[in-house]
Structure 1
């Protein structure tokens, strides 16, 4: 695949044979597989932290520096290719460094930090039909810049910062119906990216130590029976704070992050 330089966080998606990635430059990058060509759709302000593709629409989650808000917008690739405002976190929940996951037209926003820099363990849900926000139980750990994914009605949250000096390898989960959190086995690396491959939890990359910025190329699969992380083939490149995504045919794609800006893929059987 062709390369584009970005520093994504933990999400990208796929719409009709096109890979969609949000960059730290505040722009949306779209790769058309057939032509191996990138297009860039410019948003003037803010870091794109998360991209979720849903029913032909990109839900783009932006930390808007000018307005000092966390904004969720929509981008329609097949229409006029313009940004449309969707919603913003309520004032009492206005945070930076959050992670976002989508399930049955509900948007789950977890972790983050306050404007003063304090890490939080909050989790909330937005009904995309009504725009109504509700709170889940607080997580057991404070996560900032964490990774989240929803698999079989369970939201998994892991990694990120637990304070200004330490990164985390803690993973916790909650059923979207009872919204109560529990921890599972910690990942081998700190600050990994979590994703779903064929409805199974996979972690990629991260840091080898809590306080040292030494990226990893580890890839692991969580086995629910043994409650252990099992090794998969390593990535070619070491990376952290990157994007990871699984295509419909079960191919795992990892992209960007630090210090790498390449894209690579693994066919998972």
Structure 2
């Protein structure tokens, strides 16, 4: 919660007012100790000293903790998604995490849509899509959710249809069909276009690009598609893709040569096991964030890709019970049981 929101929340109830007062007092102590920190003193040590001083000065316990770089639990996903497979995932308005479509054992392929609000910490229902689909491609352009292709149980065929959801109107609308039916397995927004690569009805590899301004699809066969691998992401106008299974190497696409080249290498290959496989890449505060199936992450400063940059490549590993907790959480999200994990979606929310 930002400090600018304290005054508004003070008016909600006496509990909010007391909590905000508590946080203000602690923040004042913490800020003073941080500015006068001793050499070699960690943030954790400063926090402990601040809590002790708070208890002494105000004769009250302090239970709010600052948590840095560890996974935190969220409310359970809706029960209808607990065993679902092939559902899509995207973020709108910065704080709303949408789940849509998918296939569950009871209802088969669905068109349902739900979303989690990071500010209220709750799941809510959203309007259903027009078409039932699982394993669709999806992206966000201008805060609108685009969904295309996938499969529908009963037809056993790939879909050509595509639709867009406007959160301001809370309405789904059809857009132009793709040129070919496709089950996408990779997609990215680059230069204002939505690129998709997937398998057709006969399992042939197909690639298309959608332009929102003209509502048109176009088949693509250039050098970008030929060397394009999953996962990939566009940051600051540049398209990046991982060049190794564990994410220890990164490639960038160059429009001038219509080809890919390796641009960064961590020099540390973590391994080839499924647990170390890079499952997703996201943009985290301008850095390329690599998330692996074992919940370890790497932050890469692609804005300054020089070896002298001390923060060029940072590896952060999951620890203790927090790692185990989120291993189980992601197993549920993936529709799997037991301890084996495979991350199917990863998104960044702004609370």
TM value normalised by structure 2: 0.53
- Find the aligned partners of 1:83 and 1:195 in 2 and give their Cα distance: 27
**2:138 — aligned with what?**
100
Residue 196 of structure 1: how far off its partner (Å): 1.5
Aligned with 1:36 (options 70, 80, 93): 70
In structure 1, stretches of 5+ residues that fail to align are 1-31, 207-214
After superposition, the C-alpha distances for 1:213-243 in whole angstroms (9 at most, x for unaligned) are: xx57564322223322232335745677822
Aligned counterpart, 1:138? 177
Tell whether the 8 Å contact from 2:101 to 2:134 is kept in structure 1 after alignment.
no
Q: Secondary structure at the match of 1:231?
A: strand
Counterpart-to-counterpart distance in 2, 1:50 and 1:131: 17
Could you say if the C-alpha distance between residues 41 and 123 of structure 1 is closer, same or farther in structure 2, counting changes exceeding 3 Å? Answer: same
In the superposition, relative to structure 1, how do residues 106 and 268 fare at CA in structure 2: closer, same or farther (>3 Å)?
same
Match of 2:16 in 1: none
Indicate how the Cα distance of structure 1 residues 221 and 103 shifts in structure 2: closer, same or farther if over 3 A, else same. same
Q: Distance in 2 between matches of 1:254 and 1:62?
A: 26
Query: Among 243, 250, 257, which residue is 2:280 paired with?
Result: 243
Q: Which position in structure 2 is the counterpart of 1:70?
A: 111
Aligned residue for 2:194? 155
Q: Contact conserved, 1:156 with 1:172, CA < 8 A, in 2?
A: yes
Give 1:97 deviation, angstroms: 0.4
Answer 1 or 2: which has greater helix percent: 2
Matched with 1:83 is 123
Offset at residue 36 of structure 1 (A): 1.5
The correspondence for 2:237, drawn from 199, 206, 211, is: 199
Which has the bigger relative contact order, CA under 8 A and spacing at least 6? 1
Once the two structures are TM-superposed, the CA of residue 176 in structure 1 deviates from its matched residue by 0.9
2 CA distance for matches of 1:114 and 1:147?
19
Q: Deviations over 1:39-93 (max 9, x none)?
A: 13212232453232533322233525244413322211222x2210112211xx2
Distance, in Å, in 2 between the alignment partners of 1:180 and 1:165 is 24
More strand by share: 1
Aligned twin of 1:227 = 258
Q: Which residue of 1 aligns with 2:211?
A: 175
- Greater than 6 Å deviation, 4+ residue runs: none
Is the contact made by 1:255 and 1:261 (CA closer than 8 Å) also made in structure 2?
yes
1:194/1:144 CA distance change after superposition, 3 Å: farther
**Unaligned ranges ≥5, structure 2:** 1-65, 304-351
Deviation at 1:102, TM superposition (A): 1.4
Q: Report the secondary structure of 2:112's partner residue.
A: strand
Kept in 2: contact 1:64–1:70 (CA 8 A): no
Give the whole-Å Cα distance in 2 for the aligned partners of 1:163 and 1:256: 31
- How well do the aligned residues superpose, as a CA RMSD in angstroms? 3.2
Q: Give the alignment's TM-score, normalised by structure 1.
A: 0.67
Tell me by how many angstroms 1:146 deviates: 2.4
